[in-house]
Amino acid sequence: MTRAAARLQGNHQLTLLEGTRELFPALIAAMDAAHTLIHFETYIFDFTGSGAELAEALLRAARRGVQTWVAVDGLGTGAAPRDWQQRFAEAGVQWRVYSPVNTLALLLPTRWRRLHRKLCVVDGQVAFCGGINVLDDFHDPSWGALEAPRLDFAVRVTGPLVADAQQTVALLWRRLQAVHDLRRREPLQAVHDLLQNGSGRGEAMAHGSPGARAALLLRDNLRHRKHIERAYLKAIGAAHHEVVIANAYFIPGRKLRNALVRAAQRGVRVQLLLQGRYEYFMQYHASRPVYGLLMQAGVEIHEYAPSFLHAKVAVIDGHWATVGSSNLDPLSLLLAREANVVIEDKAFAQQLRERLLRAMREEGKRMEPTHHGRRPWPQRCKESLAMLVMRLALMVTGKRY
């Protein structure tokens, strides 16, 4: 996909999906209707609860002859349970792991580049993109059962964008397959496949109204290093009335911080829905030192309380929206493979905006600048340590943020 392919195109039909309770039935319906090919990518594939229902849909598709290709991240997922490995192998589900890891491998900065995007393309006709892993809404691998579902979103798309998504997943799959063939001592075939990894572009059917414009934005370490971040900066810089952002791991760099501050200073109402529950040390604590600067400029910060916030979405001026996998932190914006759909459509943007504002009113807690300024010294020490760890990690990778 070239830079030109990332321009907004019309004639899309878009459906906002909240959580696995809406995404999984839509995915399963598409998989059950598949005729030729299912391409599926995810960071986490967990077989607990509703995750097993999605796995069963993949089995059904493969058993009736649909090529079923699943790519997962080596850190987020690793090896599938043995019984599922056997069932997938017998049915013909092909399972590939992106950048398998062990303890020693994680000491290499190049292995910190993860497959964090969540993409699915079925028959080259429909695509799904968002932040939702194959992970039951009420289950967390580290924290166990959750009292309330995590908050996250995805989008179902038909239209020209699907061809770009097909090209994206096909390219990565060919590379994973080439590595797989090399490990099985099939080097000539692997090299041939890698050389043939051109466009892989599918023909997407165009549905929906011409007013629904959208584009697929990627983040990788080659041609798409800054596309998602630039889209945020451009939209925030052009905002006239309102910026609403929900982001799970929010550690904005200097450019993004300045864009939010300038927007607030010129009278734009900037509202952030951020993680209110402790999940990971660095992401939770390293985000808090920037809160004071933002609130001083007039930015409103709401912390989501009922469960884990996992969303990576935004709405600006009630017509521009994005839904995807990219956090606004250095891991997403500098290292990981990410995918966001950017949308120019009032109906879609308003639907997402209403849900985020309701979450702020009913499920969040607004942070007060005075309370934030009186944080106890143990909390400040943790924040300083987390920020130091993050900066040292960036220094090792050679990245600046």
Do 341 and 323 contact (CB within 8 A), yes or no?
yes
Do 94 and 317 contact (CB within 8 A), yes or no?
no
**Of 137, 310, 329, 345, catalytic:** 310
3-state secondary structure of 4: helix
What is the Cα–Cα distance from 366 to 382, expressed in whole angstroms? 22
Minimal CA–CA distance to 216: which of 157, 134, 152? Answer: 157
Q: Among this protein's residues, is 136 annotated catalytic?
A: no
Q: Among this protein's residues, is 382 annotated catalytic?
A: no
Minimal CA–CA distance to 325: which of 61, 24, 114? Answer: 114
**Of 123, 164, 181, 220, catalytic:** 123
Q: Among this protein's residues, is 317 annotated catalytic?
A: yes
Q: Among this protein's residues, is 255 annotated catalytic?
A: no
Burial of residue 290 (CB within 10 Å: 0-12, 13-18, 19+) is buried
**Of 12, 39, 73, 116, catalytic:** 116
Residue 108, C-beta contacts closer than 8 angstroms, at least 6 positions apart: none
Do the strands 67-73 and 37-42 form a parallel or antiparallel pair, or are they unpaired? parallel
**Of 12, 46, 73, 118, catalytic:** 118
Residue 196: CB atoms within 10 A of its CB come to 10
**Of 12, 73, 312, 345, catalytic:** 312
Do 264 and 297 contact (CB within 8 A), yes or no?
yes
Minimal CA–CA distance to 331: which of 381, 394, 375, 388? Answer: 394
Q: Among this protein's residues, is 118 annotated catalytic?
A: yes
**Of 140, 180, 207, 317, catalytic:** 317
Q: Among this protein's residues, is 180 annotated catalytic?
A: no
What is the Cα–Cα distance from 189 to 97, expressed in whole angstroms? 19
| HEC sequence for 251-314 | CCCHHHHHHHHHHHHCCCEEEEEEECCCCCHHHHHHHHHHHHHHHHCCCEEEEECCCCECCEEE
Catalytic residue IDs: 116, 118, 123, 310, 312, 317
